[in-house]
Structures are given as C-alpha cells and as structure tokens.
Chains A and B, each alone.
Chain A
Amino acid sequence: MSEQLSHDLKLSRTKRRKLAGRIVAWVFLSAWLLITLLPLWWIVRMAFSTQRELLANPSSFLPVNFTWDAFKRVLGTIPVSEAIAQGGYSRTLHFWLYLRNTFIVTAATVLGGIVFNAMAAYAFARLKFPGRDKIFNIYILALIMPTVLNLIPNFILIHQLGWVGTLQGIIAPTFLGSAFGVFFLRQFFLGLNRDLEDAARIDGAGIIGVFWHVALPISLPPLLTISILTFIDTWNNFQWPYFAGGMGTQENATVLTVALAVFRAQQQTGLPDYTGMMAGTLISLIPTILIFLFVGRNAVDSIQFSGIK
C-alpha cells in the first residue's frame, strides 16, 4: 500500500516537473510573441496618430488623437502647405510613383525568375547534353560564393551600360533568375516521377511541349515557393535598388524602401515626420501581408525549405 503510494508520489513529481517545464516554455514563447507583435502594433499606432501631438503622449498605447492625416500626406492627397501645417515634411513624396516602380521591379524579377529558373532547372534535371554536369558546377560555385565582391563590379557594369538611375538597371542582375532558384527547382524535378513525361513523349509530344504541358503544371507548388521567396527578397531589397537606382535622385527609378530611407535621411534635424513614415511603411507592407494571408502556410513552409538547400 505504502509502496504504491510512494510510487504515485514519485510519478506525480516527474509529472509536476514536466508541467513546470511546459509552463516556463509557454511563458517564454508568449513573451516572445508579445515582443514580436508590440512593435507591429506600434506601426499602426503611430501611423494613425496626429503628428503634432505625438511628443506630448509618447507612451499612449492607442493612436494619439486618431487621424488619417499621415496617410493623406504620404499619398499626396492634400496640398503641401497643409502637410507642412500638420508637421509633415515639405518635400512631396511621390508615393504612387515609388509604388509603381517597386511593382515593376518585383514583377519583372519574379516572372523572369520563374521562367528562366524553371527552363534551366528542367534542362539540368531531365535533358541529356554534353557537359551538363560540368556546367551545373558553375551554379554550385555561384551558390556557395560570397556575393560581397559583386556590388561594385555590377554597379560599374550598369554604369557602363548607362543604366544607373533606371529601372532596368535595378532589374538586370536578377531578371535572368538565380543560382539558388535553378538549384532548388532542379532538386524538385529530379525527385519527380517521370512516367507522365515519358507517356507524353510516347504520344508524340516534343521536349518543349512536355516541359510546357506536363512538367510545368505539376510544378506549381515549388514554383510558388520560389516566387514567394523572390517576392519577399525583391520587395524588401534596399542596397542594390539604392545604388543602381541613382541613390534616390532619380524619381523614376526610386523604389519604396529607398524613398523612405531618403525621406528619413533628409529629416535629421527637428522632429522627423514619424507618423508619415509609419503610414508609408504600413502601405508598403500591404502586398506582403496579402500574400501572407493567402498563402501563409506555403510561405512559412517555403522558408523552412530554404534551409535544406
């Protein structure tokens, strides 16, 4: 009887220890979720605050005197004089233009990436041609080599082409796809059962027909993965668009991230238009948020993929 009791006691002690461990882990995880979410809330809180009253209420959890003013300022729907009166910056932010530029750069990079990566990956995985494996080694090399040396020579190349300060200058280095994209899709094609493709070929389809009508349609999930990764990288990119786009001096080649950085850099004195910057940030996050809402699971899985390359 007492033996049974002491056994029960011991069991409950391990159980208790386990429970304590779980509680500690939950507290830790919840704390981090909070540290993640609070700054995101702070974007919203600032974007909807009244710029002039921000300083007086630095720690209020809700927007200070709720208003859409910052959005109007950023989107340029009110005259500059009114923007200045609100505490905004005197230089107009051509938000729609920057948004358009960002869209063009991202769309070209994502589409180019899909087409050219898939074509090359298919050739390396399925077609037989002399020197195939040797040529593929070039991709492995490009994949493992640090890219830090590339900025200056690529800038000089774009400069020599006369493309500095243009959108094609920003797009050029990524338009033809990436070594990672080819590598990633090749892995997928290699793991794909080729029965369907063989059947189509026996039915008389040519190589291009098989690629287009058979291989591509069943490759939509990995293509989506690579597109999401490319989208996030390109939409958020700053360094290359900054230098290739003319460091914010060419309005027609300024993307959102660059515009916001320049906007910020020009306001070193006085109180910067923080509400405007947060409103701009919030608008620029919309496409990413939409993608995340619709294909969130796939996006999260994609990231996990990228580590197993």
Chain B
Amino acid sequence: MQNISQPAPNRTRWLTQETLVAWLFIIPSLLGVTVFVLVPTLRGFYLSFTDSDLINQASFIGLANYQRLIDDPQFWKSLAITSTYVLVNIPFQTVLALTLAMAMWRLTRSIVVRAIIFMPYLIPMLMVMLIWMTILHYDFGPVNGLLKLIGGPNARISFMGQELIIPTIAMINTWRYVGYTALLFFAGLQTIPLELYEAAEIDGASEWRIFRTITLPLLRPVTVFVLITSLVGSFQVYDSVAVATVPSGGPGDATRVIFWYIVNQAFVRFNMGYAAALAVALFIISMAIAWINMSYFRAGSSDLG
C-alpha cells in the first residue's frame, strides 16, 4: 500500500524482494553464529556467577566462584603447568617454523617438500600422541633403544615421567603444528617484494642484517597472527594431555593443565558454575594475549604500507 506513494515503485519492490532474499540467505548462518558462539559466551559469563550443576535449579551466588578460584591452589598450580607448556611450545614452534619457511623459500618451491612438512597437521592430535608415546616409550621405544645402545640402560630418558611429561607434550605439539605454521610464514615471505632484497644485496648488507631489517619487519602481520593463535591455543591445551595421561591428570598431578581442571570440574564433578569461572579466567588470559600482541607489534600495519 505504501508503495503507491513512492516515485519508483518498481525499484522499491525490487529492494523489498532483495531484502527478503538476503534475510533468507543469512538467517541459518546468523542463527548458528548467535546460538552456538555469541550466546554461549554471554551464558558462560552468567554461569560463572551461579552454582549450576546440571541437575538442581541454579541460583545466583555473586562472586563466590571467583573468590573460590583465587583461594584454590589447584587453579594456580594448573596455571603454572600450562605456562610451562606454553613457554616450551611457543618459542620452539615459532623459531623452528620461521627457520623452515626461510629454508624452503631459499632452497625449493617444491610442493612435495611443503606437503611433507605439513603432513603431521593432518593427523589428529590424539593419534599423534599415541605414535610418539610408542616412539618415546621407556622400555620399547626406538629412541630409548638408541640411547641404551649408546650409553647403557641408565642413559634412557623417562619422557613420559612426571618431570618431563609437559615439555615432552609441548615438543610433540610442536612436531604437529610446525609445518602448518611454516606454511603461514612461507605465504608471508612470498608477499615481500624481491626488489628489496636485490637492493640490500647491492648495498652489501649481510644475511643477518637483511633478515633483521627486511624479512622480520615485513613478516609482522603473519607473526602476530601466528603468535596470537598459537598462544591462545596453547593455553587451551587439552587433547594431547587427555590421551597421554590417565584421566586423573597424571602421572601424579603433572599434567593438570587449566583445561583439564575445567573439564574435571564440569564433567566429572558437575560444578558447571565453578568450571565457567575457570573458563572466564582462561578467556581473560586469551584476550590479554591478543591485546598485548596487537599493541606490541602494531598488528595489521605492515611496513610495506
């Protein structure tokens, strides 16, 4: 009815139809993102202020879960274990990936080489753990077999023992992800104009200087992306721990990372409210990591302008 007064009724009708089709197109996707990504985040915050346990009616208990979290020695211990994991995993993975990317970039464009380097990423973390657990097995793993051959039975290393389990898992994780990360760096290297290198070479700059003043700064957007995703991902480490160790987070309590503790509270003890508070803590850590990276590296802005 309103259309009658419009100067271009056809156009208005077309617009209406376009709007209608557009909504038809976006509604399923919007529903998915809202119901399973955005609302759960809000609900997660809300849950952390309740004593939800999946069975009884949840009631609002204010900051009690957070008070408990601050007084909970297991939370701080889990945070320390997770941090150890991150501190081994991230430097190794990032430096190794960058070195591999540089080597590939210099030596070969072979898709086969890239494919092999990338292959571990195709194997589920869980199975990667199973493979390495057999390879590093104290009694019948080939690595300890070799060590025994060289230095006798005492030269063997208990990779899965209480002391080394977290660094071991971190290194195994590096093995799986380094190819993926190297490909990201490799893609980044390809965007750097070759003229820059030619100019530097004519000026007689050393390899190290070229790397420091050209390659590294121009890779910054990729580096920030890699650091944010791998740091945030590392703080959420769970799959590898779940299979490497018995459900109790053993050996001893050596692998009780934060996510193990969240899962333990949520799905073993059904303390959904407290588990949500732990998750909020991890959420805040993740946001802080992203924010620090973004502001420290002035992300998004490449020196290429």
Give A contacts to B, CB under 8 Å.
Answer: 21-22, 25-26, 28-29, 32-33, 35-37, 39-40, 42-43, 46, 54-55, 58-59, 116-117, 119-120, 122-124, 127-130, 132, 135, 138-139, 141-142, 144-157, 159, 172-179, 182, 207-208, 211, 232, 235-239, 242-243, 247, 257, 260-261, 264-265, 268, 274, 277-278, 281, 284-285, 288-289, 292, 296-297, 299-300, 303-309
Contacts and interface: CB of A to CB of B under 8 A. Distances in A.
Contacts of A300: 111, 114-115, 118, 183
A154 B40 contact: yes
A154 B36 contact: yes
A237 B127 CA distance: 11
B142 interface: yes
Contact of A28 (B99, B123, B246): B99
A39 B174 CA distance: 14
B23 A120 contact: no
Contact of B225 (A33, A257, A307): A307
A159 B54 contact: yes
B141 A58 contact: yes
B276 A236 contact: no
Nearest to B127: A281
Contacts of B124: 235-238, 257, 284
What is the interface of chain A mostly: helix, strand, loop, or mixed? Answer: helix
Contacts of B180: 303
B145 interface: yes
Nearest to A146: B286
23 contacts: A25-B107, A32-B100, A36-B116, A42-B135, A58-B145, A116-B29, A122-B25, A128-B19, A152-B262, A152-B266, A153-B39, A153-B43, A153-B276, A156-B54, A177-B29, A207-B18, A208-B21, A211-B25, A238-B125, A265-B243, A300-B118, A304-B183, A307-B226
B283 A239 contact: no
A305 B108 CA distance: 20
Nearest to A43: B131
Given A26-B107, A119-B29, A299-B118, 19 more contacts: A25-B103, A39-B175, A42-B135, A59-B149, A120-B30, A142-B33, A142-B38, A146-B232, A146-B290, A177-B29, A236-B123, A237-B124, A238-B242, A243-B263, A281-B130, A284-B127, A285-B123, A288-B123, A292-B119
B140 interface: yes
Contact of A307 (B28, B120, B184): B184
B167 interface: no
B28 A116 contact: yes
Given A127-B22, A264-B243, A176 B29 contact: yes
Contact of B40 (A128, A149, A237): A149
Nearest to A281: B127
A149 B278 CA distance: 9
Contacts of B30: 120, 135, 138
A305 B187 CA distance: 8
Contact of B275 (A28, A152, A303): A152
Given A124-B26, A127-B21, A33 B117 contact: yes
Contacts of B186: 304
Interface string B255-267: 0000100110011
Contacts of B226: 307
A147 B18 CA distance: 33
B187 A179 contact: no
A147 B38 CA distance: 9
Contacts of A306: 184
A26 B126 CA distance: 31
Contacts of A135: 26, 30
Contact of A29 (B104, B120, B275): B104
A123 B26 contact: yes
Nearest to A21: B207
Contacts of B35: 157
A70 to B, nearest CB: 13
A179 B37 contact: yes
A141 B122 CA distance: 28
Contacts of B106: 22, 25
A148 B283 contact: yes
Nearest to A147: B37
B143 to A, nearest CB: 9
